[in-house]
Amino acid sequence: MIKCTLFHTDGCHLCEEALAMLIQFLPEAEIELVDIVDSKETMTEYQYRIPVIKKGETGQELGWPFTQQQLQEFIE
**pLDDT above 90 for 22:** yes
Provide the CA 27 distance to its chain's centre, in angstroms. Answer: 14
Q: Using CA atoms in the order 34, 62, 51, 58, what is the torsion angle rounded to 10 degrees?
A: 0
Three-state secondary structure call for residue 76 = coil
Q: For 27-56, write each residue's pLDDT tens digit.
A: 888 999 999 999 999 999 999 999 999 998
- CA–CA distance, 53 with 18 (Å, rounded to integer): 8
Please tell me the CATH superfamily of domain 3-75, with its number.
Glutaredoxin (3.40.30.10)
Instruction: Please state the domain extents for the chain.
Output: 3-75
For residue 20, give the H/E element and its range: helix 13-25
Q: What is the reported pTM?
A: 0.92
Q: In terms of residues, how long is the chain?
A: 76
- CA–CA distance, 40 with 23 (Å, rounded to integer): 27
